[in-house]
A = this chain, B = another copy of it.
Amino acid sequence: MQTKIVQAVEAHREAILASFSDLHAIPEWGFNEFKTAAYLQQRLEKAGINIKKYTETGFTADIVGSEDGPAIGLRGDIDALPYKNEAGETYYVHACGHDSHATMVLWTTLLLKELGLVKKGTFRAIFQPAEECLTGAREMIAAGAAASLDELYGVHIRPIQEARVGQASPALWHSASTVAEVTIHGQAAHGARPHLGTNAIDGAALAILGLNSIWVNPAQQWSVKVTKIIGGGTASNIIPDQAIFTLDMRAASNALMDELVRKVTAACEHGAAAVGGHAEVNIIGGVPAAEYDEEAVSYLRTAIEEIIGSKGLLPPIYTPGGEDFHQFKQADPKLKTAYMALGSDCTPGLHDPKMTFDREAILIGVKILTLAMAKRLGCQ
């Protein structure tokens, strides 16, 4: 079957690369992927595959086998990134490779259909908007796009430093990322009578130095950084009664993030209390860390080895980056997930508007994903 899939991909080589070029030419910002979604839907419907819309631009494509079996999902994100040109005008670029992910999931779906590889259970392609907003997965989950799935797989092309073309890892371990907004409450007073007030900016400074002194296990990747602050300012002679700062927190695991949030909260509360104020810590955004299923990872590993050989198989890759893919797992703890890091010789780096990569990676990705899905859906 591996041979059959490889041959089919090679037969469709030009069409697959054309799909990528078409999608690359219509980069759209999160929740506005109208042309992208229409393009993908048109290709799928033409092949007789049922699509179902869950959000304005998010949809699924299902292929149902004739026998009972697991519900296996494959998720591709479809949004691009915004940039500003020298005139200050916003333009969009597929600088994170989501056009390649959409192409891979599109063609995996088309080939599963064309080759009749869904014997049992259900295959569901999830075309997800707004990954860069870190809110697209949440919208799709809320709309029920992943309901009753047993397994869900994802893929991301990687920078040249992490993986070369012809290499892949079955487990790209994203970090947890949490954005918190901390409000320090003090008491206003005239600048000549500071003893009658509580300086919220002093409380914020103490809180920030407190959280800069936090340790969680340094053997794991983590960080906490203040990235914004606004306080006082009513007049230069008023002791400020409020300061608000934003924290960017990252941690290699969700347990580590929980510990970090607890310690950050303590640092803020006690820093504020040291000057007689108090702190409110609100989590305003973020994504959970990867939590993969060993069995699901092993299915991807087997497919990688069969397509590119054991020399191309990489060990797990750990990245400080976040992915809203992991909200599918967070929303449904029994869901088994795995996520492939696909070598692509991407330079100079993801999110750089000049990002380019070797498109051969797309063909390799389609081969691996089609093989992995086929094996989960009754083909041996």
Residues of chain A touching chain B, judged by Cβ–Cβ distance below 8 Å, are 175, 177, 179, 191-194, 199, 201-202, 204-206, 208-209, 212, 223, 225-233, 235-240, 243, 245-246, 248, 250, 285, 320-321
Contacts and interface: CB of A to CB of B under 8 A. Distances in A.
A202 B223 CA distance: 14
Of the listed residues A202, A223, A236, the one surrounded by the most CB atoms of chain B closer than 10 A to its CB is A236
Contact of A235 (B175, B201, B226, B227): B227
21 contacts: A179-B237, A191-B223, A191-B225, A192-B250, A201-B226, A201-B228, A201-B245, A202-B212, A204-B229, A206-B209, A225-B239, A227-B238, A227-B239, A227-B240, A228-B233, A228-B240, A229-B229, A229-B230, A232-B246, A233-B246, A236-B246
A238 B192 CA distance: 36
Given A175-B192, A179-B236, A228-B231, 13 more contacts: A179-B237, A192-B321, A199-B225, A201-B245, A202-B212, A204-B205, A205-B209, A206-B209, A227-B236, A232-B246, A233-B246, A236-B285, A237-B248
Nearest to A286: B236
A228 to B, nearest CB: 4
Tell which of A209, A226, A245 has the most Cβ of chain B within 10 Å: A226
A199 B228 contact: no
B179 A201 contact: no
A250 B191 contact: yes
Contacts of A227: 191, 201, 232-233, 235-240
A231 B247 CA distance: 12
Given A205-B208, A236-B285, A191 B248 contact: yes
A229 B201 contact: yes
Contacts of A179: 236-237
A134 to B, nearest CB: 10
B223 A228 contact: no
A199 B223 contact: no
Contact of A236 (B175, B201, B240, B248): B248
Contacts of A192: 175, 223, 250, 320-321
A177 to B, nearest CB: 8
Contacts of A229: 201, 204, 229-233, 243
Contacts of A320: 192-193
A225 B321 contact: no
A278 to B, nearest CB: 18
A229 B205 CA distance: 11
Contacts of A191: 223, 225, 227, 248, 250
A206 to B, nearest CB: 7
